[in-house]
């Protein structure tokens, strides 16, 4: 994919950051729980160069037209005037400046291959691509852990998307050929913790077992800023309060969650408790090097929990899971925040085409638009490529 080049005062270099899918572990990160993502081969590219006039210019190949140009010192006051898509990169610049890092000006040209609204963390890929570019240009002392905090703060405070640590951590820390087991409570406890604290790289080589991980993008976009994601966070906090704990991470048994009298809060807590257990169960199997087909039922159980207890699935997501399983997938579930987006399916290599056709036919019969499907393998986290 070509990145549009323009004339810069400084030398142009390019950085990339990947999208992600969770093998398992949805809505657990902001509950201080466990997640198990992989980085995607699909990335956002950021071509960047230093300016000397105190302004930041950001353009995007996916948003043709006049680029956004604003003074670094005016980023916070002018946030309301910034187009929605530009708030992600400009929010990262603003966060660098807020933390005392001198930004004399910068040109940013973006080009994204991560599908937007598919639940594959395109926004975190964008924010992290910009963050590593700014780090290398202006603050080389910053660690990956610090950049994760910068990128999350930009999304939370500048964009208004109440994300946890999952997306940015996956974009920064994932390695090729591995899934990232992240213990959010341990990882978040100290932003200055040494590299490796709170997370583990677990080998994830499906090809060695004749398997593939199929992504099914339903084409129904989801938005983290539409209120429903924030509502789930508030419900989880309320459920923790009802049980007298700081976060739902502290609840181990589903029986404890069942003590909550409010039915909605009880279901939310039950999902988080059982989802944490599923993450640890899948990680244990993968760590032991056993046939990954054994994690298939755990993935499917995760979807049932997201559908029934957390209530973030949709008819299209359910249809994709049903069609994939009916065609022989070992397991399937929705990924991401929900209310749209994508499904992953664990399939035998020689049945991938059959599963894809099953999903397409099922979608055609039920009136959904044709889904986009592609196979993914664990890729590397954010880095400079040129």
pLDDT in tens, 18-72: 999 999 999 999 999 999 999 999 999 999 999 999 999 999 999 888 799 999 9
Q: pTM for the complete prediction?
A: 0.92
In whole angstroms, give the CA distance from residue 179 to residue 201.
Answer: 6
Residues with a known catalytic role? 167
Closest C-alpha to 181, from 266, 77, 285 = 285
Which pLDDT does position 112 carry in this prediction? 94
Beta-strand pair 106-112/55-60: parallel
The 10s digit of each residue's pLDDT in 284-307 is 999 999 999 999 999 999 999 999
Percent of the chain with pLDDT over 90: 84
Task: Provide CB contacts within 8 A for 133, sequence distance 6+.
Answer: 13, 15, 46, 48, 106, 108, 384
Which pLDDT does position 4 carry in this prediction? 34
Does pLDDT of 7 surpass 50? Answer: no
17 neighbors 128 (Cβ within 8 angstroms):
yes
CA neighbours closer than 13 Å in the CB half-sphere of residue 162: 13
Which pLDDT does position 8 carry in this prediction? 45
Q: What is the mean pLDDT of the chain?
A: 93
Which pLDDT does position 81 carry in this prediction? 82
């Amino acid at each position: 994919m070509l990145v549009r080049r323009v004339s810069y005062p400084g030398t142009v270099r390019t950085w990339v950051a990947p999208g992600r899918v969770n093998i398992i572990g949805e809505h657990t990160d902001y509950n201080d729980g466990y997640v198990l993502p992989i980085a995607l081969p699909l990335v956002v590219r950021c071509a960047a160069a230093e300016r000397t006039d105190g302004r930041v210019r950001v353009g995007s190949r996916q948003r043709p037209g006049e680029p956004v140009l604003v003074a670094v010192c005016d980023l916070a006051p002018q946030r309301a005037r910034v187009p929605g898509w530009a708030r992600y990169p400009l929010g990262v610049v603003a966060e660098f400046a807020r933390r005392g890092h001198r930004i004399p000006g910068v040109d940013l040209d973006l080009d994204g291959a991560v599908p937007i609204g598919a639940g594959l963390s395109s926004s975190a890929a964008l924010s992290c691509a910009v963050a590593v570019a700014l780090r290398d240009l202006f603050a080389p002392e910053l660690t990956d852990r610090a950049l994760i905090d910068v990128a999350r703060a930009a999304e939370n405070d500048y964009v208004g998307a109440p994300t946890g640590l999952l997306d940015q951590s996956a974009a920064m820390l994932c390695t090729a050929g591995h899934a990232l087991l992240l213990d959010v409570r341990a990882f978040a406890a100290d932003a200055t913790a040494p590299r490796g604290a709170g997370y583990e790289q677990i080998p994830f080589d499906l090809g060695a077992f004749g398997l593939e991980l199929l992504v099914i993008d339903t084409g129904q976009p989801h938005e983290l800023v539409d209120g429903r994601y924030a509502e789930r966070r508030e419900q989880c906090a309320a459920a923790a309060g009802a049980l007298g704990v700081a976060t739902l991470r502290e609840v181990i048994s589903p029986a404890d969650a069942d003590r909550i009298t409010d039915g909605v809060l009880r279901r939310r807590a039950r999902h988080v408790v059982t989802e944490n257990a599923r993450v640890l169960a899948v990680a244990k199997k993968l760590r032991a090097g056993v046939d990954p087909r054994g994690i298939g039922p755990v993935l499917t159980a995760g979807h049932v929990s997201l559908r029934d207890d957390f209530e973030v699935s949709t008819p299209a997501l359910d249809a994709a899971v049903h069609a994939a399983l009916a065609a022989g997938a070992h397991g399937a579930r929705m990924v991401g925040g929900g209310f749209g987006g994508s499904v992953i399916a664990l399939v035998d290599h020689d049945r991938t085409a059959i599963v894809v056709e099953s999903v397409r036919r099922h979608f055609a019969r039920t009136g959904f638009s044709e889904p986009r499907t592609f196979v993914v393998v664990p890729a590397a986290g954010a880095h400079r490529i040129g």
